[in-house]
Every structure is written in structure tokens, then in C-alpha cells.
Amino acid sequence: MLSDEQKLLVEKIGLMLESEGLSPAVSRVLGLLLVSDKVELTFDEIRETLNLSKSATSNALNIAIKLNRAEYITKPGDRKRYFKSKIELWREHVMDGFCKKCSWSKMFEEVLKHRTKETKDFNKAIKDLVNFLEYMGKELPKLYKEWESKTK
């Protein structure tokens, strides 16, 4: 089903997604859904390709669906579910991920209020982070709109 190069790419994507906190099985499933020449894969195709147990495959797919990174469809007259990547939602995932990080700036400001003034370098690093997060919170939406206008 996959070439050797595609298998390596699934593994590479898996490692990258693991570094973002996803489990190995979820990471490989998401990688497979991106790399596979077939856009929609059955449960058994995923399980067999990744050499996962039924339980691990089921759990990984459920988590991927819950994270809104994958979905399934059904076809008339076919009882199977076909799983596919929701890559088209990449904009929302990028913005949501960054907005979550931006929301940390308020917490870090609160941390600064309660920190001793004695640790000037440490406090400055926190303040720099707050400033950067606030700056990016303002600039990222503009950057996205600019990019979008150039790609149309």
C-alpha cells in the first residue's frame, strides 16, 4: 500500500506529532492519512498498514476524531467506515494553537506581579515572552489575511 519512502515519511510525521504531545499511534494514524495515496482508508487498512492492534487503532482514530484532525464517512450500501484527514482545517488548528499560547500572556503577567523583584533577568525573560505573545496575537491574524489575499 505504501512505498518505503512513504513509510519513512509516515514515521517522520509521527515523530513530529509525538513531539507535540500526541501518542505514537495517533501520530502514525494522522501521518498515514496525510501520506497515503488513497484519501479515505478503512479501519483495517489503517490497522494493517501501521501494524497496530484493533484496540490501538480504534483508540487512535477516536482521539484523532475528537481532536478534529480526522473524520469518517460512510458510503451507501457499504457498512465500512472510511477515515480521512481533516487537513483542510489547518488554518483553524494553527490559529487555535496560537491563540491558546497567546492566552498564556495574561497568566505570565500575573506571575510577574507575584515574583520578587530580585530576579531581574528571569523577570525580564517572562516580560519578553508576554510582549512577544501579545505582539503575535495582534500580528498573526493580519499575516494570515495578507497571505490569503496573495494566494487567491
Other CB atoms within 10 A of residue 79 CB: 6
Task: Evaluate if residue 103 carries a pLDDT over 90.
Answer: no
Question: What's the number of domains the chain is made of?
Answer: 2
pLDDT in tens, 79-88: 999 999 999 9
pLDDT in tens, 26-83: 999 999 999 999 999 999 999 999 999 999 999 999 999 999 999 999 999 999 999 9
Same domain, 55 and 123: no
**According to the 3-state scheme, what is the secondary structure of 78-116?**
EEEEEEEECHHHHHHHHHHHHHHHHHHHHHHHHHHHHCC
Average pLDDT of the chain to the nearest whole number: 93
Same domain, 19 and 63: yes
Same domain, 66 and 27: yes
Same domain, 12 and 37: yes
Same domain, 143 and 100: yes
**Domain region containing 79:** 4-85
What pTM did the predictor assign?
A: 0.79
Other CB atoms within 10 A of residue 33 CB: 25
Pairwise CA distance, residues 86 & 39, whole Å = 10
Same domain, 79 and 102: no
Q: Integer distance in angstroms from the first to the last C-alpha of the chain? A: 35
